[in-house]
């Protein structure tokens, strides 16, 4: 009997560990990677010819990152590897992929979706100005290109990444003019019991804060963003401090981000059920503890299913691979699986702590001035979205999209969807889970009209 | 138990139902419009948006003319224009047989004022330089155009409501019973409605309702295969299509003033009446790419950013179901528009309102009567 | 050497030169730059929004936001953050050369 065809989408830590687990079980999975190099985002690899050490690039995570890269490099001869290949749709047990302009179909017996996450952003006036980037982008510029996003950089948002990127910039010699966190100190204290689930991670976070303080970077907690201003580019960041004073930070770049947003589009297209997750305040695929989605044969691993961070992703990758193997009738090591599950439970406690320490400031959406652009792709304002939600009575986000165009652009709602839902909900006076989520539509990324079926 | 009564109950709040509700109010008739979801959410909201008379069966042209006149004064009538633009509609042909087809259609449609202009190969490229080399003939309809299907039906729904119609969304009809001269309609949430006249304009679900009254029709349910590109400079003004019997070449596209190019055609996908789901077949999308670049080679540089489908009802004679029931007095139908109902929407509403209000209509719709399916 | 660009090079400064053209002007990028970095180490923006809100310079750098699509003068589209810079690349940051006819 032929070996089962298992396809993995994503070559970050989750995809790498899933592939490793399947290869160890004697299989030859297909790994589809949108990028040219493995590693995903957090462990993004620098281009060939770059010289910085792993310590410089990944700091305290250097050995983990190096290990993930080395594992993947060692697997390449044992898997069917498809780099620079976009998975743009999934239907009827087949993944639809594109390499350059060659389109083809990969039927599968099991699909492990390890598509990771993007930053989650809350719009503010001026956020589309040249010079504003996500925290992830700020980190990629440094890690993968050796660049800072500007010469006087401010960082704003919340979450551990806010401090990590700022401290990486300081370490690299960039001028960091301020770090603005919307979460108050009290939130962090409240979350300590849950965050104590991972004392090592907690300590690393403290270390990061200390570096920033020692470098004299002003850190403001409990701020309210007001606006980013400038004439065609960033020149000033305005916010209100926790005590009510006005903050005006002269800068030429702002990195913004409020933790992460799972890339769930493929899972959605595969027909998997998503449910509103109160802790992370977004719609996530419904998964069992091993990553099985609601559709048989579909598994999710890593931040694309449940945001647990890079090491959580590695564990999730192994669990998803074991689940696929078990469901295909192969023997799996129960004791190891139990250990992995217990590790996931710890990481999940920590995740819930993070959400308490660094909450998504949903309330900011309702307060956005009407002229604020919400949908970057289509240039639609908060006011237009509110009008549609009230005067045109759109009760949920898909109707609101049909009337306002929010979510209709190239990014398919990645950067406007969550804030847009908060605005619609606030305008209608209902909880955000009442207004639903943007329905997934193919292609997962823009598809070239020049694409042709292989051989056609 | 509370019961709401009116002169007319309309079951189904797509374009046909919303427009009928509006025009009935213009005639002073009280009307209750019952829609299972939200107004214009199904086929009415996801179609191509073509406001065309060119290419229709000749028997539809009187209705299409009546409708076209209303499109031209939409703002004045309902306060919104649904982005209707009179851009003209160009159909091209690839083979000599298409020239004959176009000439025949021009002649047959001549009495109806479409003012079709046949264009030869060299003139085609002079007027429309973006066309690919395979186009050898064109037929241009100067009064046709396009509009935004996501906006049109909801605009009529709001206008109907402002005019005094009772528009009930999220109300799925459960039973319709004829009791003496009245119809008693009950929705799944237990609400009751009564009227001496009922219109079934439930789109692809219309057959399920007509069947309950002993009038089944041979309807097939299919999903249109739609897509849209990123926004690029506005260059393709007319709505574009191919005049052909070969379905695989039958691509259609239109550019909106914001710059995106909406397209569809060449195939259909499965649509499910119970789950209310329809899908785009990736193979159809990829095939559409070959026809898009054949039509407008410059499209090869662009990317599509979204695909979508919907649920449409097709009659196997390609003609809609419209007019009075052949069996039940007071019962009327307007459904099954074969994926070509958008342009007809305002006209259907106006005609059905006239028919229900007065008992007859000045626009010939006998070819659409449901009686054509009665067992002979 | 000071540049007018948006991004500041902090490391990996010693890399082979890659000549490209931005809006008709020859500039020098570095081997290993993405096209986005190649452009933004020389000028302040990649494109102008189609909908009137002004210049854009990308946002996510990971191929998700779709804000960094640029045009070549020949009408080709490139996603700047995901395209490695190559010698001879030409980019226009203003105007969209579409449709290219004939």
pLDDT in tens, B111-151: 999 999 999 999 999 999 999 999 999 999 999 999 999 99
Q: Where in chain B is the domain with CATH 3.50.50.60?
A: 3-49+150-218+317-373
- Residue C37: inside a domain, yes or no? yes
* Shortest Cα–Cα distance, A349 to chain C (Å): 28
A203 and C CB contact within 8 Å: no
Confidence of residue C1 (pLDDT cuts 50, 70, 90): very low
- Which tens digits make up the pLDDT trace of B212-249? 999 999 999 999 999 999 999 999 999 999 999 999 99
Q: E strands, A13-125, where?
A: 30-32, 80-82, 85-91, 94-99, 102-107, 110-113, 117-119
Give yes or no for residue A366 having a pLDDT over 60. yes
Distance (Å, rounded) from C-alpha C69 to C-alpha C55? 12
A377 to C56: CB separation less than 8 angstroms, yes or no = no
Q: Flag whether pLDDT at C4 surpasses 80.
A: no
Q: Test A412 with B305 for CB contact under 8 angstroms.
A: yes
Tell me the CATH number for domain B89-142+220-315.
3.30.9.10
Q: Kindly state the average pLDDT of the residues B265-271.
A: 97
**Nearest alpha-carbon partner for A143 in A249, A250, A27, A44:** A44
Q: Which site among B131, B301, B302, B303 would you substitute to test the C interface, given the most C Cβ atoms closer than 10 Å to its Cβ?
A: B301
Mode of pairing for the β-strands spanning A132-134 and A236-240: unpaired
Token pair, residue B172, equals: 């799925």
User: A399, B151: Cβ pair inside 8 Å?
Assistant: no
A131 touches chain C (CB under 8 A): yes
Q: Is the confidence at residue B348, as pLDDT, over 90?
A: yes
Q: What is the C-alpha separation between C49 and C51, in angstroms, rounded?
A: 5
Beta bridge pairs of residue A261: A118
In a domain, C87, yes or no: yes
A233/C6 touch (CB, cutoff 8 Å), yes or no = yes
**pLDDT reported for residue B375:** 65
pLDDT of C2: 43
Which residues, numbered 18 to 47 in chain C, qualify as contacts with chain B under a Cβ-Cβ cut-off of 8 Å?
Answer: none
> A141, C59: Cβ pair inside 8 Å?
no
Written as six digits, the tokens of B362 are 């000045």
Calculate what percentage of chain A has a pLDDT beyond 70: 99
As a whole number of Å, the CA-based R_g of chain B is 21
Tokens of A445: 């990324």
- Cβ pair A449:B286 closer than 8 A: no
- In this predicted model, which residue has the larger pLDDT, B374 or A48? A48
**Confidence band of A84 (pLDDT split at 50, 70, 90):** very high
Nearest to residue B343, comparing CAs of B34, B56, B20, B106? B56
Q: Quick check: B1 pLDDT over 70?
A: no
**C7 Cβ under 8 Å from any chain B Cβ:** no
- Please give the Cα distance from A397 to A365 (Å, whole number): 15
All chains having 3 or more CB pairs closer than 8 angstroms to chain B: A, C
DSSP B288-306: HHHHHHHH-GGGGG-EEEE
- Contact: A233, C32; criterion CB under 8 Å: no
Around Cβ A376, how many Cβ atoms within 10 Å? 26
From chain C, the residues in CB contact with A130 under 8 A are 6, 44-45, 55-57
Q: How far is A144 from chain C (nearest CA, A)?
A: 9
Are A217 and A199 a contacting pair, CB within 8 Å?
no
Answer yes or no: is pLDDT of A188 > 90.
no
pLDDT the model gives residue C3: 56
Q: Kindly state the tokens that stand for A154.
A: 């401010």
Average pLDDT of every residue of chain B? 97
Q: Flag whether C56 is in a domain.
A: yes
Residues of C within 8 A of B305 (CB-CB) are 66
The beta-carbon neighbor of A449 closest among B38, B41, B289 is B289
Candidates B154, B300, B305; nearest CB to A446: B305
Strands of A251-292 (E only): list them: 253-258, 260-262, 274-277, 282-285
For A239-255, what is the mean pLDDT?
98
Give B304's contacts in chain A (Cβ within 8 Å). Answer: 443, 446-447, 449
Which domains does chain A possess? 6-118+261-330 (3.50.50.60), 121-258 (3.50.50.60), 363-435 (1.10.10.1100)
Would you call C69 an interface residue with chain B, using a CB distance cutoff of 8 Å? yes
> Residue A104: closest CA among chain B residues belongs to which residue?
B283
In chain B, residues with a C-beta closer than 8 Å to the C-beta of C102 are 129
User: Does C9 contact A146 at a Cβ distance shorter than 8 Å?
Assistant: yes
> Residue C23 falls within a domain, yes or no?
yes
Strand, coil or helix: A337: helix
CATH code at C84? Answer: 3.10.20.740
| DSSP tally for chain A: helices H, then strands E | 14, 25
Report how far Cα A158 is from the mean position of its chain's Cα atoms: 14
Of B230, B281, B308, the CB nearest to A410: B230
Q: How many CB pairs under 8 A join B and C?
A: 34
Residue C93 at interface with chain A, using a CB cutoff of 8 Å: no
> Mean pLDDT over residues B358-373, rounded?
97
Distances (CA, A) of B221 to A55, B27, B41, B45: 61, 34, 16, 16
Where are the domain boundaries for CATH 3.30.9.10 in chain B? 89-142+220-315
Tokens coding B154: 């909801």
Name chain A's partners: 3 or more CB pairs within 8 A.
Answer: B, C
Query: Quick one: pLDDT band at residue A150, thresholds 50, 70, 90?
Result: very high
For B301, which of C66, C98, C102 is closest by C-beta distance?
C98
| Chain C interface test: which of A36, A48, A137, A174 (most C C-beta within 10 Å) | A137
For the stretch A275-313, pLDDT in tens is 999 988 999 999 999 999 999 999 999 999 989 888 899
Touching C: B residues 95-114, CB under 8 Å: none
Query: Which residue in A has a C-alpha nearest to residue C78's C-alpha?
Result: A448
Record the tokens describing residue A307, joined without a space: 């945001």
pLDDT above 50 for B367: yes
Question: Whole domain around residue C45: which residue ranges?
Answer: 17-91
Say whether residue A43 is in contact with chain C using an 8 A CB cutoff: no
**pTM, rounded to two decimals:** 0.97
Answer whether B314's CB lies under 8 Å from B328's CB: no
Is the pLDDT at A231 greater than 70? The verdict is yes
Q: Is C52 on the interface with B (CB under 8 A)?
A: no
- pLDDT band at A2, cuts 50/70/90? confident
Nearest CB to B150; choose among A91, A403, A412:
A403
Exposure of A356 in the CB half-sphere (CA atoms within 13 A): 17
**How close C65 comes to chain A (CA, Å)?**
5
Chain C residues with beta carbon closer than 8 angstroms to that of A375: none
For residue A452, pLDDT beyond 80: yes
Cα A310 off chain centre by = 11
Domain membership of residue C102 (yes or no) is no
Instruction: Find out whether A12 and A116 touch, Cβ atoms under 8 Å.
Output: yes
Identify all chain C residues contacting B302, using CB atoms and an 8 Å cutoff.
77, 98
Task: Report pLDDT for A455.
Answer: 65
Q: What average pLDDT does range C74-84 have in this prediction?
A: 97
pLDDT at site A263: 97
Q: Assign A264 to helix, strand or coil.
A: coil
Rounded to whole angstroms, how far apart are CA atoms B315 and B110? Answer: 26
| C11, part of any domain | no
Check CB contact of C53 with chain B, cutoff 8 Å: no
Three-state DSSP class for residue C96: coil
Q: Average pLDDT of A402-408?
A: 98
CB B149 within 8 A of CB B47: yes
Query: What CATH architecture does domain B3-49+150-218+317-373 belong to?
Result: 3-Layer(bba) Sandwich (3.50)
In 10 A of CB A429, how many CB atoms?
9
Q: Best mutation site among A45, A130, A171 for testing chain C: the one with the most C CBs within 10 Å?
A: A130
Mean pLDDT of B302-322: 97
Q: How far is CA B78 from CA A188, A405, B155, B163, B318, in A?
A: 55, 22, 7, 10, 30
Q: Could you give the CA distance from residue A60 to residue C22 in angstroms, rounded to a whole number?
A: 39
C75 touches chain B (CB under 8 A): yes
- How far apart CA B227 and CA B63 sit, in angstroms, is 29
Cβ separation C60–A136 shorter than 8 A: yes
Interface check for C99 against chain B (CB to CB < 8 A): the answer is yes
- For residue B45, which residues of chain A lie inside 8 Å, CB to CB? 402
Q: What is the mean pLDDT of residues B92-110?
A: 97
Phi/psi at A188 (nearest 5 deg)?
A: -65, -40
Q: Is B177 exposed, middle or buried (0-12, 13-18, 19+ CB in 10 A)?
A: exposed
Interface of C with A in 10-49 (CB under 8 A): 10-13, 15, 31-34, 37, 41, 44-45, 49
User: Going by C-beta distance under 8 Å and a sequence separation of 6 or more, which residues neighbour residue B122?
Assistant: none
- Say yes or no for a CB contact (<8 Å) between B301 and C96: no
Q: Out of C69, C98, C101, whose CB is closest to B129?
A: C101
- Written as one string, the DSSP assignment of A119-163 is E-----TTTTSTTEEEHHHHHHHHHHHSEES-SSEEEEEESHHHH
Q: Which of A384, A352, A22 is closest to A190 using CA atoms?
A: A352
Answer yes or no: is C55 within a domain: yes
Q: For B205, left (φ over 0), alpha (ψ -120 to 50), or beta?
A: alpha
Which range among A112-116, A154-158, A253-257, A347-351 shows the weakest confidence by mean pLDDT? Answer: A347-351
Average pLDDT, chain A: 96
- Contact status, residue B300 vs residue A449, Cβ threshold 8 Å: yes
The total of other beta-carbon atoms located within 10 Å of residue A191's CB is 21
* Proportion of chain B above pLDDT 70, given as a percent: 99
Average pLDDT on C23-38 reads 98
Inter-chain CB proximity C101 and B230 less than 8 Å: no
Closest CA in chain C for residue A151? C8
Q: How many domains does chain C have?
A: 1
Cβ contact, residue pair B299, A449, below 8 Å: yes
Residue A447 to residue B293, Cβ atoms within 8 A: no
Interface of A with B in 72-91 (CB under 8 A): 89, 91
pLDDT of residue A1: 64
């Amino acid at each position: 009997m032929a070996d089962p065809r298992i396809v993995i989408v994503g070559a970050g830590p989750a995809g790498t560990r899933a592939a490793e687990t399947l290869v160890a079980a004697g299989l030859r999975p297909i790994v589809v990677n949108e990028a040219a190099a493995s590693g995903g985002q957090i462990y993004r690899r620098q281009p060939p010819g770059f010289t910085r050490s792993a310590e410089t690039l990944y700091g305290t995570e250097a050995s983990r990152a190096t290990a993930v890269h080395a594992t993947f490099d060692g697997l390449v001869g044992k898997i069917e590897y498809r780099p620079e290949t976009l998975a743009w749709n999934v239907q009827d047990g087949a993944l639809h992929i594109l390499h350059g302009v060659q389109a083809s179909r990969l039927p599968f017996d099991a699909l492990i979706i390890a598509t990771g996450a993007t930053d989650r952003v809350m719009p503010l006036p001026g956020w589309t100005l040249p010079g504003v980037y996500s925290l992830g982008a700020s980190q990629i510029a440094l890690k993968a290109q050796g660049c800072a996003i500007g010469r006087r950089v401010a960082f704003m948002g919340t979450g551990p990444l806010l401090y990590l990127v700022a401290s990486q910039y300081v370490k690299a010699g960039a001028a960091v003019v301020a770090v603005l966190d919307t979460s108050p100190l009290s939130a962090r204290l409240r979350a300590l019991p849950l965050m104590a689930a991972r004392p090592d991670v907690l300590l690393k976070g403290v270390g990061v804060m200390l570096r920033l303080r020692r470098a004299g970077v002003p850190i403001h907690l409990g701020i309210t963003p007001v606006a980013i201003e400038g004439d065609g580019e960033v020149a000033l960041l305005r916010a209100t401090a926790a005590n009510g004073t006005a903050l005006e930070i002269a800068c030429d770049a702002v990195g913004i981000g409020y933790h992460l947003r799972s890339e769930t589009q493929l899972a959605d297209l595969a027909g998997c059920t998503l449910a509103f997750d109160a802790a992370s305040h977004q719609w996530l695929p419904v998964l069992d503890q091993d990553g099985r989605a609601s559709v048989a044969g579909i598994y999710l691993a890593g931040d694309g299913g449940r945001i647990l961070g890079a090491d959580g992703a590695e564990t999730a990758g192994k669990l998803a691979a074991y689940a696929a193997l078990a469901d295909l009738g192969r023997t799996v090591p129960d004791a190891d699986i139990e250990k992995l599950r217990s590790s996931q439970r710890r990481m999940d406690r920590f995740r819930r702590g993070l959400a308490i320490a660094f909450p998504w400031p949903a309330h900011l959406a309702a307060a956005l001035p009407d002229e604020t652009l919400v949908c970057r792709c289509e240039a639609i304002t908060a006011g237009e979205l509110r009008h549609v939600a009230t005067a045109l009575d759109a009760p949920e986000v898909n109707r609101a999209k049909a009337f306002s165009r929010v979510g209709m652009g190239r990014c398919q709602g990645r950067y406007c969807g969550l804030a847009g839902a908060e605005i619609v909900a606030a305008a209608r006076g209902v909880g955000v889970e009442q207004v639903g989520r943007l329905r997934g539509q193919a292609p997962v990324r823009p598809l070239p009209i020049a694409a042709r079926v292989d051989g056609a | 138990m509370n019961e709401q009564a009116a002169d007319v109950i309309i079951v189904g709040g797509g374009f046909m139902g919303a427009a009928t509700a509006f025009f009935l109010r213009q005639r002073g008739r009280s009307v209750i419009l019952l829609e299972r979801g939200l107004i214009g959410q199904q086929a009415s909201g996801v179609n191509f948006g073509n406001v065309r008379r060119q290419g229709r069966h000749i028997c539809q042209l009187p209705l299409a003319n009546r409708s076209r006149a209303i499109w031209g004064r939409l703002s004045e009538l309902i306060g919104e224009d649904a982005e209707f633009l009179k851009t003209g509609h160009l159909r091209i042909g690839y083979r000599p047989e298409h020239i004959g087809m176009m000439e025949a259609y021009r002649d047959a449609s001549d009495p109806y004022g479409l003012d079709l202009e046949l264009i030869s190969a060299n003139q085609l490229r002079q007027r429309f330089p973006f066309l690919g080399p395979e186009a050898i003939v064109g037929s241009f309809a100067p009064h046709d155009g396009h509009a935004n299907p996501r906006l049109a039906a909801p605009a009529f729904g709001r206008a109907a409501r402002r005019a005094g119609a009772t528009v009930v969304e999220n109300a799925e009809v459960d039973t319709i019973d004829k009791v003496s001269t009245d119809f008693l309609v009950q929705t799944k949430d237990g609400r009751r409605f009564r009227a001496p006249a009922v219109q079934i304009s439930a789109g692809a679900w219309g057959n399920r309702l007509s069947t309950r009254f002993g009038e089944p029709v041979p309807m097939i349910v299919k999903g249109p295969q739609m897509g849209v590109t990123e926004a690029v400079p506005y260059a393709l003004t007319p709505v574009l299509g191919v005049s052909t019997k070969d379905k695989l070449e039958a691509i259609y596209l239109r550019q909106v003033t914001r710059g995106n190019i909406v397209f569809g055609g060449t195939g259909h996908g499965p649509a499910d009446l119970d789950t209310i789901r329809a899908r785009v077949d990736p193979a159809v999308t990829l095939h559409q790419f070959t026809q898009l670049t054949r039509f407008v080679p410059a499209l090869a540089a662009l990317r599509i950013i979204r695909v979508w489908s919907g649920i449409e009802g097709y009659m196997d004679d390609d003609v809609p179901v419209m007019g009075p029931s052949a069996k039940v007095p007071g019962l009327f139908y307007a459904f099954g528009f074969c994926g070509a109902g958008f342009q007809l929407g305002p006209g259907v509403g106006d005609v059905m309102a006239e028919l229900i209000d007065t008992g007859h209509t000045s626009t010939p719709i006998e070819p659409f009567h449901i009686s054509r399916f009665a067992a002979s | 050497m000071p540049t007018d660009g948006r991004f500041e090079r902090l490391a990996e400064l010693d890399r082979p030169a890659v000549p490209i053209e931005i809006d008709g002007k020859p500039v020098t990028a570095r081997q290993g730059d993405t096209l986005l970095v190649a452009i933004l180490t020389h000028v302040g923006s990649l494109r102008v929004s189609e909908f009137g809100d002004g210049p854009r310079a990308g946002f996510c750098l990971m191929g998700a936001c779709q804000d960094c699509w640029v045009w070549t003068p020949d009408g080709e589209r490139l996603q700047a953050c995901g395209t490695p810079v190559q010698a001879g690349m030409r980019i226009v940051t203003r105007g969209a050369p579409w449709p290219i006819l004939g």
